[in-house]
């Protein structure tokens, strides 16, 4: 028993040393050349190291069990076969880590599971293999071999008794388990970038569990998808809405008149229509500002998110992607050249948020895509009201108005601005900030769920935001899009009439979407049928906002996965909720396994369109192909 425990300790230290050496040598590439403070880098390294120790513990445990089982079938224990068996375990580990090191060094990005399919490409393999000869992989291999040799010498001279060996093994188990829990907690709390959070093998395992990559579309499936997309799915919208052209004319007239128009997208955290009064006539409303905004502007009653995370919503409204937890490029693939609105406008672009700039890599992502004015929690005073997720919505909006004013003062004649603001107060655990009105704090005590109170607070903050923009003379030259980022599955204030099997998906994805502002109100004055123009019941997606904004601003040649608001719809609205993909009409729920394995030839046209459309998007996202000139051949 003593010998078994000693070998377990040896294997653990050897594997932990290999992983930590790999992390040290890989570090300059894993951190993506982003300059960090010493303390921040140390925190990131510590979190990743906890994962390294956990995987080392698992590997040492599995190896020890394996060698014990092997020894049961051996009557003798000759040293040479045992040495070869040990080398057969460690040498492939060193080779895999060195190969990963060369991959990271060559491509400047951590290994992702989507690249497994490139292994049949000899050019890919040749390029990566040549980088094995660079200093990083060679240094790692040398360090690993020296470490193994030293550990072997130590093991041969180790004479500790059973109690000491057991204590050390027990301590390793406790440290590893505690470190695993700490890794899961602090990689979120400390906003650790995705590529620094875990050991490379844990990262690959997580990605494999998260992303079941579907097979490529066959020729017959491509033909069927093209035919299905050619059919209009929106019977209530037979032609392009004339108001779209009217609003575009109004916007460009403001540009020509040097009014410096501002197009602003406001993403409201976890806002659900089930809590917005205008969606439930006859009920007591807790959202008077959102109700009035929809009534005075353009309201899309049947809008859906692309997923259930805020980063996905940001990519949807500015990049036109079906982005969600598993398909967001912001955190998982920030290296890809995604066509987004800010870099295409080449003008004054701003992004305002009261939360942490490093969360999901938001600031870094938008910097790379042309946003030149960014505001986050680093720009607030410590005494400003805040919650666990950042500074309060009202504090953020007050500062946003000031920043927009300053931005317009620096804009050249005839220029416009494109901006986004994100709220945070309505995020779990739904805590009202100090600047909430006393009446709302009293009302919150009577509400059956805390999210209702924070929804009411966000509505109050938005009402103040609109009034401040009007008071500063900004509103009259603005087009404002207000949308939820996603929903939540908590009990709703007003229960929707949806079958129970689809209710969680519906609550997570049905969103508020309305367009207002002074320029919208001006365009509506000339509408022939203002009431029918103002309310839309056709299906729309968050991803439809970006192509509409591109058309509004006058950006040509851009391709999006979404379809433009006000235009006839040719593709289904799809929501990636992680384990499942949901399409609201007709209500359909497909698991990721079905998406990967289901034969489209055996399903009806409606289900086949959802299946093929989403598989086509995943294929393009995995390959970084962001054009829609037909499905991938």
pLDDT, one tens digit per residue, over 251-269 is 999 999 999 999 999 999 9
Whether residues 136 and 195 fall in one domain: yes
CATH value at residue 438: 3.40.720.10
- Dmax (CA) of the chain: 95
Is residue 105 located within the same domain as residue 246? Answer: no
Q: Do 22 and 148 fall within a single domain?
A: yes
CB 420 within 8 A of CB 404: no
Q: Looking at the predicted structure, is the pLDDT value of residue 612 above 50?
A: yes
Write out the two tokens for 563. 């379809």
pLDDT in the model for residue 423: 97
Which among 581, 540, 582 has a CA at the least distance from the CA of 562? 540
pLDDT averaged over every residue in the chain: 82
Q: Is the pLDDT of residue 484 over 90?
A: yes
Q: Please compute the mean of the pLDDT values over residues 168-180 and round it to a whole number.
A: 84
Same domain, 502 and 404: yes
Cβ neighbourhood burial of 487 (10 Å; 0-12, 13-18, 19+): buried
pLDDT at 203 over 50: yes
Query: Considering the domain boundaries, does residue 616 fall inside one?
Result: no
The answer to the question of residue 581 being in a domain is no
Give residue-wise pLDDT tens across range 107-153: 555 555 545 555 555 655 665 666 666 666 777 778 777 877 777 77
Spatial CB neighbours of 381, under 8 Å, sequence gap ≥ 6: none
| Cβ atoms of residues 506 and 584 within 8 Å | yes
Considering the domain architecture, whether residues 443 and 492 belong to the same structural domain is answered as yes
* 359 has a pLDDT exceeding 90: no
For the residues 437-443, what does the mean pLDDT come to?
Answer: 92
Q: How far separated are the first and last CA of the chain, in Å rounded?
A: 60
Per the structure, the complete domain to which residue 488 belongs is given by 234-569
Using alpha carbons, list the distances in angstroms from residue 274 to 277, 278, 452, 503. Answer: 8, 9, 10, 12
Euclidean distance between CA atoms 536 and 554, whole angstroms = 23
Distance, CA of 307 to CA of 455 (rounded, Å): 20
Residues 43/46/51/52 CA torsion (nearest 10 deg): 140
**pLDDT surpasses 90 at 404:** yes
Residue 331's pLDDT is: 73
Residue 614 in domain: no
Q: How confident is the model at residue 236 (pLDDT cuts 50, 70, 90)?
A: very low
Report CA dihedral (555, 558, 559, 562) to the nearest 10 degrees.
Answer: -30
- Average pLDDT for 282-302: 94
pLDDT at 27 over 50: yes
Residue 166 near residue 5 (C-beta atoms within 8 A): yes
pLDDT at 83 over 90: no
Report, as an integer, the average pLDDT of 198-219: 71
Top-confidence residue, 342 or 31: 342
| Separation CA 494–CA 274 (nearest Å) | 5
Helix boundaries (H) for 498-631: 503-509, 518-525, 530-534, 545-553, 592-597, 605-623
Q: Is it the case that residue 511 has pLDDT exceeding 90?
A: yes
Same structural domain, 258 and 174? no
> Token pair for residue 307?
């997923």
Share of the chain above pLDDT 90, in %: 34
Number of domains in the chain: 2
* Distance in angstroms (rounded) separating the CA atoms of residues 281 and 182: 47
- 408 and 467 in a single domain? The answer is yes
Q: In 10 A of CB 39, how many CB atoms? A: 8
Question: 614 or 494, which is more confident?
Answer: 494
The answer, yes or no, to whether residue 459 has pLDDT greater than 60, is yes
- Please choose, from the candidates 595, 599, 561, 600, the residue with its C-alpha nearest in 3D space to the C-alpha of residue 580: 595
Contact 544, 300 (CB under 8 A): no
Quick check: 317 and 303 in contact, CB under 8 A? Answer: no
Q: What is the DSSP letter of 626?
A: -
* 152-156, 398-402, 435-439, 556-560: least confidently modelled range: 152-156
Q: Which sign does the torsion angle of CA 240, 529, 543, 586 carry? A: negative
Residue 606 in domain:
no
Question: How much is the pLDDT for 110?
Answer: 57
**244 and 190 co-located in one domain:** no
Torsion on CA atoms 597, 328, 498, 456, rounded to nearest 10: 170
| Cis before 324 (ω within 30) | no
pLDDT tens column, 150-173: 777 776 666 666 767 788 788 888
Most confident of 7-16, 44-53, 280-289, 605-614: 280-289
Residue 486 in this model has a pLDDT that exceeds 90? yes
Provide the residue count of the chain: 633
Which is higher by pLDDT, 226 or 297? 297
Residue-level pLDDT at 60:
84
What six digits make up the tokens of 378? 């680093």
Most confident of 89-98, 141-150, 336-345, 433-442: 433-442
**84 — pLDDT class (breaks 50, 70, 90):** low
Domain boundary among 569, 587, 613: 569
| 238 has a pLDDT exceeding 50 | no
d(CA 97, CA 93): 6
Do the bridges between strand 478-484 and strand 513-516 make them parallel or antiparallel, or are there none, so unpaired? antiparallel
Residue 598 placed within a domain? no
- Report the distance separating Cα 599 and Cα 587, nearest Å: 20
pLDDT score of 618 more than 70: yes
CA count, 13 A, side-chain hemisphere, 120: 2
Question: What is the C-alpha to C-alpha distance for residues 370 and 212, in angstroms, rounded to an integer?
Answer: 32
Confidence of residue 628 (pLDDT cuts 50, 70, 90): very low
Question: Is 201 a domain residue?
Answer: yes
For residues 41 and 180, membership in a common domain is answered with yes
Rounded to 5 degrees, φ, ψ at 499 are: -55, 145
pLDDT band at 408 (very low <50, low <70, confident <90, very high): very high
**One domain for residues 409 and 470:** yes
Give the least confident one: 80-89, 191-200, 592-601: 80-89
Residue 593 within a domain: no
pLDDT exceeds cutoff 50 at 237: no
Judgement on whether residues 205 and 238 belong to the same structural domain of the protein: no
Where is the domain boundary, 548, 569, 590? 569
Q: How far is CA 255 from the centre of its chain?
A: 34
**Is residue 421 assigned to a domain?**
yes
Judge contact between 350 and 409, C-beta under 8 A. no
Tokens at 113, concatenated: 């599971």
Q: Has residue 440 got a pLDDT over 50?
A: yes
pLDDT band at 509 (very low <50, low <70, confident <90, very high): very high
Number of Cβ atoms within 10 Å of the Cβ of 340:
27
Q: How far is CA 38 from the centre of its chain?
A: 27
Print the SS3 string covering 417-441. EEEEEECCCCCCCCCCCCCCCHHHH
pLDDT at 633 over 50: no
Q: How many other CB atoms are found less than 10 A from the CB of residue 316?
A: 30
Task: Give the model's pLDDT for residue 94.
Answer: 75
The DSSP bridge partners found for residue 261 are: none
* Separation of alpha carbons 120 and 208, rounded Å: 19
**In Å, how far are 193, 272, 293, 299, 482 from 289, measured between CA atoms?**
36, 14, 6, 14, 11
Q: Is 513 helix (H, G, I), strand (E, B) or coil?
A: strand
- What is the DSSP secondary-structure string of 348-371? EEEEEESS-TTGGGHHHHHHTTT-
The answer for residues whose C-beta is within 8 angstroms of residue 333's C-beta and 6 or more apart is 112, 621, 624
Q: What is residue 260's DSSP assignment?
A: -
pLDDT of residue 505 exceeding 60, the answer is: yes
Lowest mean pLDDT among 71-80, 537-546, 609-618: 71-80
Question: Which residues, listed in sequence order, are joined to residue 536 by a DSSP beta bridge?
Answer: 300
Domain boundary among the residues 210, 225, 253 is at 210
Q: Contact 483/267 with Cβ under 8 angstroms?
A: yes
Quick one: 206 and 313 in the same domain?
no
């Amino acid at each position: 028993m003593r010998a078994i425990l000693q070998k377990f300790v040896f294997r653990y230290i050897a594997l932990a040393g290999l992983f930590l050496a790999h992390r040290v040598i890989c570090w300059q590439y894993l951190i993506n050349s982003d300059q960090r403070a010493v303390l921040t880098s140390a925190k990131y390294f510590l979190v990743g190291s906890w994962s390294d120790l956990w995987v080392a513990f698992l590997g040492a445990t599995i190896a020890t069990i394996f060698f014990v089982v092997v020894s049961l079938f051996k009557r003798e224990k000759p040293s040479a076969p045992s040495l070869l068996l040990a080398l057969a375990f460690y040498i492939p580990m060193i080779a895999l880590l060195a190969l990963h090191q060369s991959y990271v060094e060559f491509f400047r990005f951590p290994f992702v599971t989507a690249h497994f399919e490139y292994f049949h490409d000899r050019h890919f393999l040749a390029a990566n293999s040549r980088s094995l000869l660079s200093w990083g992989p060679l240094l790692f291999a040398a360090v690993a071999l020296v470490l193994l040799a030293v550990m072997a010498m130590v093991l041969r001279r180790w004479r500790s008794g059973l109690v000491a060996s057991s204590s050390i093994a027990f301590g390793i188990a406790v440290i590893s388990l505690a470190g695993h829990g700490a890794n899961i907690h602090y990689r979120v709390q400390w906003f650790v970038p995705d590529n620094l959070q875990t050991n490379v093998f844990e990262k690959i395992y997580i990605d494999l569990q998260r992303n079941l990559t579907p097979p490529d579309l066959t020729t017959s499936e491509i033909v069927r998808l093209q035919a299905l997309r050619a059919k209009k799915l929106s019977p209530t919208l037979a032609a392009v809405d004339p108001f779209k052209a009217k609003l575009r004319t109004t916007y460009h007239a403001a540009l020509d008149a040097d009014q410096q128009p501002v197009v602003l997208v406001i993403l409201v955290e976890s806002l659900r229509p089930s809590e917005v009064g205008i969606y439930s006539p006859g009920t007591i409303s807790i959202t008077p500002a959102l109700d009035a905004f929809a009534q005075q502007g353009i309201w899309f009653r049947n809008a859906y998110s692309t997923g259930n995370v805020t980063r996905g919503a940001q990519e949807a409204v500015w990049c036109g992607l079906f982005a969600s937890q598993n398909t967001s490029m912001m955190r998982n693939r920030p290296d890809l050249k995604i066509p987004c609105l800010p870099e295409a406008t080449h003008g004054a672009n701003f992004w305002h948020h009261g939360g942490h700039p490093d969360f999901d890599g938001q600031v870094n992502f938008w910097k790379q895509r042309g946003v030149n004015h960014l505001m986050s929690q680093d720009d607030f005073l410590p005494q400003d009201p805040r919650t666990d997720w950042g500074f309060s919505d009202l504090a953020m909006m007050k500062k946003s108005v000031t920043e927009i004013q300053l931005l317009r003062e620096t804009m050249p004649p005839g220029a416009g601005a494109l901006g986004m603001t994100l709220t945070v107060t309505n995020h779990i655990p739904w805590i009202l900030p100090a600047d909430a009105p006393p009446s709302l704090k009293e009302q919150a005590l009577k509400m059956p769920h805390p999210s209702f109170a924070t929804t009411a607070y966000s509505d109050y903050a938005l009402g103040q935001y609109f009034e401040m923009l009007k008071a500063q003379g900004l509103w009259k030259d603005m087009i404002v899009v207000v949308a939820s980022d996603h929903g939540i599955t908590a009990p709703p204030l007003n229960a929707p009439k949806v079958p129970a099997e689809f209710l969680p998906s519906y609550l997570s994805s049905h969103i508020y979407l309305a367009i207002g502002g002074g320029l919208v109100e001006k365009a509506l004055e000339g509408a022939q049928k203002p009431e029918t123009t103002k309310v839309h019941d056709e299906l729309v997606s968050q991803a439809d906002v970006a192509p509409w904004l591109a058309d509004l601003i006058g950006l040509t040649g851009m391709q999006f996965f979404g379809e433009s608001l006000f235009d006839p719809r040719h593709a289904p609205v799809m929501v990636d909720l992680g384990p499942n993909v949901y399409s609201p009409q007709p209500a359909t729920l497909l698991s990721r396994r079905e998406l990967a394995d289901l034969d489209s030839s055996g399903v009806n046209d409606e289900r086949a369109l959802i299946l093929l459309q989403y598989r086509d998007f995943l294929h393009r996202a995995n390959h970084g192909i962001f054009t829609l000139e037909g499905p991938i051949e």
